[in-house]
Structure 1
Amino acid sequence: MVIIYIFFPYLSNTVIGDPVEGQSLIGYLNAVAGFIMALTVPFMGAIADKIGRRKPWIVVSHIFLVVTAIALWWVMPDGQGLGLLVTFALLLVMIVAFGYSEVFHNAMLPSVAPRNKTGLVSGLAFSVGNMAAIVWLVLILFAFALPGTQDWSFLPEAPLFGVDQEAHEHERMVGPIAAIWLIFATLPLLFFTPDGDPSTNSILQDVKEGLGEVLETIRQAKHYANVGIYLVARMFFNDGMIGVLVFNGVYATGVFGWDSTAMLILGVLTSGSAMIGAYLGGLLDDALGSINTLKVAIGMTTVILLLLISIDIGVIFFVWQVGTEPIWSIPYYNSISELFYLILFQIFALFFVTGLSASRTLMAKLSPPEMATQFFGLYSLSGTVTAFLAPLMVGIATSTFQSQRAGYGALVLLMLIGMVMLFWVKEEQATVAPRS
């Protein structure tokens, strides 16, 4: 809700007020966040392996997420509320905290699912997450965004609880809503899942040994060559795929002028597609293997991105003029080009979440169980060490060519490089290297 569908588009088009400049600035923001995570994530994973327990780390990262998400309520246009500098600082902390939490969440996968079911469990987890997103997006849509804008009998006459649409409260409220949901969704994880055994050493000793483990792993890079190739490949394809999702809202609102209601509808539909894709992707993963599933997912998302950037107002496939006349009376997605974009993005969501799930499952299969968190720290690093690259490419290409299409399309190169590198990866579990 915050990054993809509502708040980032609101920030770009309403608070900043220029979709091209907004896309460029958001690109640079994500680039800085990626650089910070690249410097810190692998060490945190190794230290957590030594300390044993992952849940305390999750709690701390979630506290930062909750606080920063609530603060987004005070981000307003026209110089009111929090300024842009404070807003970007909050978002920077939020993105980094989310990246940290992912490391420890992912590292718990081998301990909660048998090896032959990790694909299914990973896929189900993404499905449940998208199901929750659908519920909240539908609630915001029908309780706060649509009332007062459409004369439909099933809608309230005005937004519930006095929400002021002119003050963009229906867009600003997504931060606090996400924070509340995060609190409740974290409780089952804390109370009903196993955690690692706590270390008997002092914190200082665990930190020292954890840092040593990272350096030792680097020295043993040749032993872990297969995992290394995979992680390098992931640097590229993950950066590209995440970039498509993150910048989709900013791109679509800039090209088509979609408002927050249109983005909410897009979010509901996309979350539904992602939920289906996560479940089917989990089944496909267990049937074809993680590496083959991942290749299919990256290939399809690359093709779809090329098709997405071929669309403009009244144009598809770059040159085919399809007109701008309304094709139905519904006030949303009522031109051929908009509807085509909407449908294509649903297909992208199917394969994107399939790839996301297969990527995590493959890491669980390749990693030595004794070093799960450290390797998932490196896994997260592979998604963050170049996490600045995709946003930076988007930002530079957008500002250089003054074109959102050029910026968005730059992501194709990253996805292609990552997919090609996967052909050198074998789906086999590594063993712990003998210490030198």
Structure 2
Amino acid sequence: MADAVNGPGKVGDVLLSATGDKAADTKGQISWAIFEWARNPYVLLVTIYIFAPYFSNVVVGDPVRGQAIWGNINGIAGFVIACLAPILGAIADSGGRRKPWLAVFVGVMAPATFLLWWAMPGEAGLSVTSIALLIVIVSIAFAFSEVFHNSMLPSVAPNERIGFLSGLGLALGNAGGLLILCFMLYAFMLPGRVDWSFIPDKALFGIDAAAHENSRIAGPIAGIWFFLFALPLMFFTPDRIRKTGPGMLQSVREGGRRVVKTVRQLKHYRNVATYLIARMFYNDGQTAILVFGGVYAAGVFRWDALTLTIYGIVLSIFAVGGGFFGGWLDDRFGSKVAILISIGGTALGVLLAVSITPNELFFFVPWDVNAPPVWDLPFFATVPELLYVGVVIIVAICITAAYANSRTMLARLAPASKMSEFFGLYALSGTATAFLGPALVGIATAVFHSQRVGFASVLLLLGIGLALILLVKEERAEAAE
């Protein structure tokens, strides 16, 4: 005789997950969240702050050509991801288990990232083509690991904890990135640049800044970090296991058929489709903010590399809080209201950010550019800069919260039996039009000859996403047969 239901999400002494499976224990849930801690430093070290500008300016040797090559690399990776992510998600739903796939992606990404150490100036080590191939491979593995990791969430946590756990993962990811950035600053960037007593006189471990080893080390550090901190999920987070199931080739064929069938049935999943389209627009806006936020600040305030690195550290600190803030919003008000608040806060922050320049505050208040600095530190020395940083902190918190809320929203909307498949479509909605935000900013900047107008154009994408979210109902769809 079956055990009686003793409360919501519980049968007998067994705590049930949002999909009705046995939920992971606390260690398993936290290990799931730690995977974000493992993944996120790659983004900060390689794709944003250290390796990407090094590749563009030093390895390629021409910032304009280097930026074009970097854009092509990410475009190729994005195309592959857009084509395959939904199919891989469907394969996971057919085959059941997710951790073997995650193990493959970790096994590809960690060594490929480590190899970036040999990305030397003037192609003395790896060629530009080889580096580009490595980045494409790592980017694809990174995105696919996100699909399978996200799809585990509703089968790992009870329904009432998925918001918190999603936010915890984002918070830990940003915390890991923050720790790595601070270490890079202390160990490799500041030595020899400042005479502070607590900073080493020379870079640690014999790293030679003149040979750009302080930039090249970003790859090995990200790769080792990813491998080590992926282990808790592999050991402690339970996977969904089926005693019987199709083989690999059959799973591939079945997965492809499931994707085609799901796309054809999107009319049945109209509510989920509306959400994915909304997310596509506001996610493109968020991506553009991340890509151009530093570029805008550097152009308007003439920030140097040291200032931009500290800027990244400051934003990472507050982004950690954004993960918890997003989880609290989601559990307190529901995913839809949480998204409206987080995206609305992002839009307000961007509007305030573009209202500040070295000679103007909030569009209308003039400021004397010759006013004395507020302190002697070599960064954020003026009132407009400090106000700008304060405003962008709000943006960082809200963007991180929005990422957590968005993931949780899909976990609440998608049919439980098609969770990985819909997280594949979720990844597709985040990559299919990833060019839209950067293109909009570039066109607006060129047409109006203004960085301010160009950066502000992301408000259009955020606004469209917000309007579409209002049409979404927060209810789980039934699987179409």
SS in structure 1 opposite 2:317? helix
Amino acid at match of 1:240: G
In 2, the alpha carbon distance for the partners of 1:32 and 1:409 equals: 27
**Residues 28 and 171 of structure 1: CA distance in aligned 2, closer, same or farther (over 3 Å):** same
> Whose radius of gyration is greater, 1 or 2?
2
- 1:223 aligns to 2:268 (yes or no): yes
What is aligned with 1:379?
426
What is aligned with 2:338?
293
Post-superposition offset of 1:84: 4.2
User: 5 Å matches for 1:312-351?
Assistant: 312-317=357-362, 320-323=366-369, 325-351=372-398
Amino acid at match of 2:77: A
**Residues 224 and 237 of structure 1: CA distance in aligned 2, closer, same or farther (over 3 Å):** same
In 1, the alpha carbon distance for the partners of 2:449 and 2:118 equals: 30
Superposed CA offset, 1:170-221 (max 9, x none) = 2222221111110011000111101121452222222221111112212222
Post-superposition offset of 1:241: 0.7
In 1, the alpha carbon distance for the partners of 2:346 and 2:358 equals: 22
**Residues 188 and 226 of structure 1: CA distance in aligned 2, closer, same or farther (over 3 Å):** same
What is aligned with 1:360?
407
- 1:273 aligns to 2:318 (yes or no): yes
8 A Cα contact 1:49 1:371, kept in partner: yes
In 1, the alpha carbon distance for the partners of 2:368 and 2:65 equals: 29
- 1:61 aligns to 2:101 (yes or no): no
What is aligned with 2:473?
426
8 A Cα contact 1:314 1:335, kept in partner: no
Post-superposition offset of 1:141: 1.2
What is aligned with 1:123?
167
What is aligned with 2:252?
207
Post-superposition offset of 1:355: 0.5
Post-superposition offset of 1:293: 0.7
- 1:193 aligns to 2:237 (yes or no): yes
In 2, the alpha carbon distance for the partners of 1:54 and 1:259 equals: 43
SS in structure 2 opposite 1:188? helix
SS in structure 2 opposite 1:425? coil
In 1, the alpha carbon distance for the partners of 2:368 and 2:148 equals: 48
In 2, the alpha carbon distance for the partners of 1:157 and 1:307 equals: 40
In 1, the alpha carbon distance for the partners of 2:54 and 2:452 equals: 19
Amino acid at match of 1:57: W
**Residues 16 and 403 of structure 1: CA distance in aligned 2, closer, same or farther (over 3 Å):** farther
8 A Cα contact 1:9 1:253, kept in partner: no
8 A Cα contact 2:326 2:338, kept in partner: yes
**Residues 394 and 385 of structure 1: CA distance in aligned 2, closer, same or farther (over 3 Å):** same
SS in structure 2 opposite 1:166? helix
**Residues 142 and 247 of structure 1: CA distance in aligned 2, closer, same or farther (over 3 Å):** same
Match of 1:133 among 171, 177, 186: 177
What is aligned with 2:151?
107
What is aligned with 1:175?
219
What is aligned with 1:153?
197
Superposed CA offset, 1:237-274 (max 9, x none) = 11211221233334444544444433332222212101
**Residues 249 and 27 of structure 1: CA distance in aligned 2, closer, same or farther (over 3 Å):** farther
In 1, the alpha carbon distance for the partners of 2:448 and 2:113 equals: 33
The farther-off stretch of 419-428 and 193-202 is: 193-202
8 A Cα contact 1:73 1:172, kept in partner: yes
Post-superposition offset of 1:93: 2.6
Post-superposition offset of 1:291: 0.6
Post-superposition offset of 1:148: 1.4
In 2, the alpha carbon distance for the partners of 1:57 and 1:408 equals: 38
Q: CA RMSD for the aligned pairs?
A: 2.6
**Residues 395 and 65 of structure 1: CA distance in aligned 2, closer, same or farther (over 3 Å):** farther
- Report % sequence identity: 47
Amino acid at match of 2:179: V
In 1, the alpha carbon distance for the partners of 2:155 and 2:317 equals: 28
What is aligned with 2:13?
none
Post-superposition offset of 1:361: 0.5
Post-superposition offset of 1:102: 0.7
In 1, the alpha carbon distance for the partners of 2:172 and 2:467 equals: 31
Post-superposition offset of 1:128: 1.4
8 A Cα contact 1:238 1:383, kept in partner: yes
Amino acid at match of 1:36: V
**Residues 292 and 157 of structure 1: CA distance in aligned 2, closer, same or farther (over 3 Å):** same
Post-superposition offset of 1:92: 2.7
User: 5 Å matches for 1:76-115?
Assistant: 76-77=120-121, 80-115=124-159
Amino acid at match of 2:289: V
**Residues 367 and 190 of structure 1: CA distance in aligned 2, closer, same or farther (over 3 Å):** same
Amino acid at match of 2:158: P
Amino acid at match of 2:253: K
How many residue pairs end up in the alignment? Answer: 434
The farther-off stretch of 70-79 and 175-184 is: 70-79
8 A Cα contact 1:20 1:254, kept in partner: no
The farther-off stretch of 242-251 and 277-286 is: 242-251
TM-score by structure 2 length? Answer: 0.83
8 A Cα contact 2:188 2:214, kept in partner: yes
**Residues 246 and 56 of structure 1: CA distance in aligned 2, closer, same or farther (over 3 Å):** farther
